[in-house]
Structures are given as C-alpha cells and as structure tokens.
Structure 1
C-alpha cells in the first residue's frame, strides 16, 4: 500500500492551482509556446488558453505573456509572478506529499505493509 492524495489550492472557493495546471504552466515555460505545451498535455490550444485565463482571473495575477506570431515567430512565457507562483506551488506540493508519506509511515509502522497481519498491534485506538 501507499498513500495517494489530490492537492489543489482554492481562492474564494474557486480553483487557484492544481498539479495539472502547474504542469501546463511548467510546459509553457519549458517550450516557450502555449501551443506546444497544450500538445504535450493532450489539450486543445483553446482549452489550454482557457485554463490559463481562468487561473489568472481567480488569482488576479498575470501568469503568461504571449507575443503574436509572424515571420519571427511568436511565443509564450511565464511572467515573473507566474514563474514564482509555479515554483512555490511545486515546492508546497512536494512538501505536502513528503509529509503525507511520513504520516503514513507513522500510522502503519512500515513504509509498505503488504501483509494484513502487520496492521495488528498493541497500539491503542479503535479496531
């Protein structure tokens, strides 16, 4: 067994960030293109752009800057605020997963118990 969790942030009861959206923003940063990032995550360009705009509205922050295409080509990149927000969210998510793994280890007294007999103990509490 191993613990699993879904993590996201809300602001005023609206989605402010999730692992999926962090991956989308990271893909924009890595590829320099919203279109390439959308392809990487198997999204349409329109859907990816909608997710970015929705996050920007909910957070009240510009996350992505885009330049129109043309002979020199266009592109997209994260704003300084967007890059910092992704960095902080990613660190928070990693820290939360490590904490959950540690709590799991404490609760089950073994990183990956596979034998139900290992769940029996003299520990107090409901059974």
Structure 2
C-alpha cells in the first residue's frame, strides 16, 4: 500500500457508533453519535445492484484511508457528505500503525439514517 500523504486527506468524514438507550416504553432507541472526525482519502471502487427488501437498489463500495487509529469497528458507520456507509472492514495494511484502510458500502446503510 502506498504511504498516506497529507495531500491525500481531502475529505472530512464522520465515524459514528450505534448506541442503544431505553426509550422509557420498554423498548430501545438507537442513536449514532460521532466518535471521530478524521480527514480521509475516499475512493469509490465500484457500483453494483442488490436486491434489498425485494427492491433493486444500487450499492456502492468505497475504500477510505485515514491516519491510523485504534477502535474502529465493523458495527460503526462512516458519513461522507450526505452518504452513509457501513464499515465492512478496518485494517492496518502493513502493521506499522501509520494508516487505517476502511472498506465500506452503502448496502443496508439506510438503517441508521
């Protein structure tokens, strides 16, 4: 993987984590507070179609590179502008703790709004 340079980090993204709270009526409410606001390189990789809830929808996949940080989980989401992405993986590609490569997709991202 190529080194991450400052000029690559042109996009400000939000990383959000689901938080469950009691709604006072015996149920739970999920909120998505922002846990990080890193600068990132965001690259759209492909588009494909998928059937979700019996409706054909377009699905986009993105590779997002940020400076290394611990604690990013596959249950987290990335918000890039108006687009919400579900994280499918977050890895340190060379083990040097210099960058984190996040793979994310629009598939089923509607659940978080």
- The normalised TM-score by structure 1 is 0.18
Flag the structure with higher helix content. 1
Flag the structure with higher strand content. 2
Larger Rg: 1
